[in-house]
Amino acid sequence: MNEFNLIDKYFVGKQNQRKDVLLPIGDDCAVVKAPDNAAIAISTDTLVAGTHFLADADPALVAHKALASNLSDLAAMGATPAWVSLALTLPDVNPSWLDAFTESFYELADYFSVQLIGGDTTKGPLSMTLTVQGFVPEQQPLTRRGAKVGDWIYVTGCLGDSKAGLEVILDSSKRSKSCARELEKKHYLTMPRILVGQALLPIASSAVDISDGLIADLSHILKGSNVGAQLDVDLLPVSKELTSYLADSELAKQYALSSGEEYELCFTVSEEHRGSLESALAHCGTTFTCIGQIRAGDKLELHSQGKAIDWQLDGFDHFEDNTL
Ligand code: ADP
Ligand code: MG
């Protein structure tokens, strides 16, 4: 199969055509049109085999993870996803891999009405680069820069599962541990919190998605907003699967603080807007938990039972150190 047959077979005409896509895959560029008064939020991420996923991982899970992690960046801005491009580098043409990859990719894309509008296909070590684009109100995207002293800090969902799932993926001897399979699945099958992000646009003062671990990502908000924070680790939401897998509730909290690739949202809300959160997020299908408060200064302090604690936590690593 040459490059053009491959593009026709796997990428052309696989989805419903959005009205704002004036020219889809097949020309030198795609041509799209944003709604009046909308700004466009754009984010790019690369996933490399051996760094972000194992080369022999289930292609359906890899496709989901690749698109979900990109869409999560749009969620963190409160954006409404619209278009995605996919640059795919493949070591060879493996039809069963491509079938499974593209089917899973379109399933998640269709769920959020995101259309694949272009990309590139090349030969080489397995990797993929996605660029997602979505709409945000011109004046009002959610950013990392708006947190104020006194704002409350929230997270969606449960934290820590992804780190445990990654351990199971990398060390098959851990498969026999309680809930190992569920956690492995959760590592791959996160759902970007698009609805939450949209609902937070008029309410939250800042937001970030948790890709590098709560501590690391909340620190981006603190730095961007010139503030500090106090977190109560006893409030951190952890799943019963994680608690069962680790059989140690303190360790579960530590996982919740450091686990990357969670793709939950961390956001801040002023006292004034706190009361409207419940109804604003009621239709979003996820829990949310207040875990602390923004403070003056620039420190991130951890507390438990009213006292400061000094946990030394590892940052988040991928399969191997991939920092440059
Ligand atoms: P060019 O050489 O002009 O860059 P290509 O031959 O690479 O064009 O691509 C032909 C068309 O197929 C373009 O519209 C491009 O966006 C699309 N395309 C190529 N690879 C992919 C892919 N992996 N996913 C989606 N669209 C793709
Ligand atoms: Mg090309």
List pLDDT tens digits, range 225-235. 999 999 999 99
**Which is nearest to 297 in space by CA: 223, 231, 233, 232?**
223
129 and 160 in a single domain? The answer is: no
pLDDT at position 322, please? 46
157 and 305 in a single domain? The answer is: yes
Neighbours of 157 (CB within 10 A): 21
How far is it, in rounded angstroms, from Cα 272 to Cα 274? 6
266 and 239 in a single domain? The answer is: yes
CATH (domain of 157): 3.90.650.10
Ligand 1 atom with the shortest distance to the CA of 4: 6
112 and 189 in a single domain? The answer is: no
- Residue 181 located in a structural domain: yes
- Residue 291 located in a structural domain: yes
**Confidence bin at 317 (pLDDT 50/70/90):** very low
**Confidence bin at 314 (pLDDT 50/70/90):** low
pLDDT at position 269, please? 98
| Percentage of residues of the chain with pLDDT beyond 70 | 97
CATH (domain of 126): 3.30.1330.10
pTM, full prediction: 0.94
How far is it, in rounded angstroms, from Cα 86 to Cα 231? 38
pLDDT at position 324, please? 47
Ligand 1 atom with the shortest distance to the CA of 29: 14
Does the pLDDT value for residue 53 go beyond 60?
yes
**Which is nearest to 87 in space by CA: 138, 51, 121, 123?**
121
- Residue 319 located in a structural domain: no
83 and 157 in a single domain? The answer is: no
Expressed as residue numbers, the domain containing 174 is 152-309
Tell me the pLDDT tens digit for each residue of 131-152: 999 999 998 889 999 999 999 9
* Residue scoring higher pLDDT (14 or 317): 14
Domain termination site, one of 107, 137, 167: 137
64 Cα to the center of ligand 2, angstroms: 23
Average of per-residue pLDDT across 20-44: 96
pLDDT at position 141, please? 83
Q: Which ligand is nearest to the CA of 29?
A: 1
112 Cα to the center of ligand 2, angstroms: 26
Ligand 1 atom with the shortest distance to the CA of 27: 14
72 and 221 in a single domain? The answer is: no
127 Cα to the center of ligand 2, angstroms: 16
Phi and psi angles of residue 34, each rounded to the nearest 5 degrees, phi first: -80, 150
| Percentage of residues of the chain with pLDDT beyond 90 | 93
Domain termination site, one of 109, 137, 165: 137
Tell me the pLDDT tens digit for each residue of 224-278: 999 999 999 999 999 999 999 999 999 999 999 999 999 999 999 999 999 999 9
290 and 253 in a single domain? The answer is: yes
